[in-house]
Structure 1
Amino acid sequence: MPHLHIEYTDNLTGLNERELMRELNAVVCAHPTVTDEADVKSRIARLTSFYIGSSPENRGFVHVQLQLMSGRSEQAKKEMSDGLAAVLRRLVPQPGDMLVQLSVDVADMDKATYFKGRL
């Protein structure tokens, strides 16, 4: 933990996955409530099958979900959410003929049931 899940529609050509993950990770790693940068685990999924609203042509999205161990303040979660959103606004391509939706969700993981081990 934290876990960073990124999904985006494959019609967003030109999205640099590696750069996006690096910049999103940097936001989370830099937050004072994250004590070990090696705990931040990210993955990205390019969605080839998606449908947006009732008229999906020329629409796309990027969604980021950050899962954090429960116990962080709303302020800390808001700071991370705002930082992640700023990265999306800066790095997601903006095709002129397309509506692109950006979203960030910060979710708590339950301490009682979460397992983490290292080998």
Structure 2
Amino acid sequence: MPQLIIEITENTRLTCSQDELLDEANAALLATGQFGEPDIKSRCVTLTTYRQGTENRDRAFVHATVWILDGREQAVRKQIAQAVCGVLTDAVRPGAGQSVQVSVNVQEMERAVFTKQIIGE
């Protein structure tokens, strides 16, 4: 654990590749001290169909969901969200006249029902 899912609208301009973004986000999660290195899993999903508001304007967004096992205090969950948000914010390069919203939510999975199998190695 954790599972990091970054959703990026296709019109979002980044200062790095999505691969580099994932590397930075994984490093930030590791730096929180909450997770083992091989347990961090992440992916980017580029959104080609999306809406933001009701006006036809050049808007973009990046939203990350971090799934973690339950039991961590709210302050720790907030630290995790801020670490990921910092990486995402640093990676966004808005275009002229473009507004980009960056958000992160930390969700908890029930430890009692979570199942994981490691195959190989």
What is the TM-score when the length of structure 2 is the normalising length?
0.91
The alpha-carbon distance between structure 1 residues 92 and 13, as it changes in their structure 2 partners (threshold 3 A), is closer
Aligned partners of 1:13 and 1:94: how far apart in 2? 6
Equivalent residues, number: 118
- SS of structure 2 residue aligned to 1:111: coil
Matched, 1:73 2:79: no
Matched, 1:107 2:107: yes
Unmatched segments (≥5 aa) in structure 1: none
Aligned partners of 1:64 and 1:91: how far apart in 2? 13
2:93 corresponding residue in structure 1: 93
1:49-81, Cα deviation, whole Å (9 max, x unpaired) = 001111142011000110100011111111111
Aligned partners of 2:111 and 2:80: how far apart in 1? 20
Aligned partners of 2:56 and 2:81: how far apart in 1? 27
2:57 corresponding residue in structure 1: 57
Q: Percent identity?
A: 33
- Please tell me the root mean square deviation across aligned C-alpha atoms, in Å: 1.2
Q: Which runs of 4+ in 1 moved over 2 A?
A: none
* Residues 36-51 of structure 1 mapped to structure 2, 5 A cutoff: 36-51=36-51
2:26 corresponding residue in structure 1: 25
* CA displacement at 1:89 relative to structure 2: 1.5
Report if aligned partners of 2:13, 2:92 keep a CA contact under 8 Å in 1: no
Aligned partners of 1:80 and 1:17: how far apart in 2? 20
Aligned partners of 1:56 and 1:2: how far apart in 2? 36
* Residues 6-25 of structure 1 mapped to structure 2, 5 A cutoff: 6-14=6-14, 16-25=17-26
- SS of structure 1 residue aligned to 2:45: strand
Aligned partners of 1:69 and 1:56: how far apart in 2? 39
Q: What letter matches 1:19 in structure 2? A: E
Q: What letter matches 1:73 in structure 2? A: E
- SS of structure 2 residue aligned to 1:75: helix
Aligned partners of 1:45 and 1:94: how far apart in 2? 19
Unmatched segments (≥5 aa) in structure 2: none
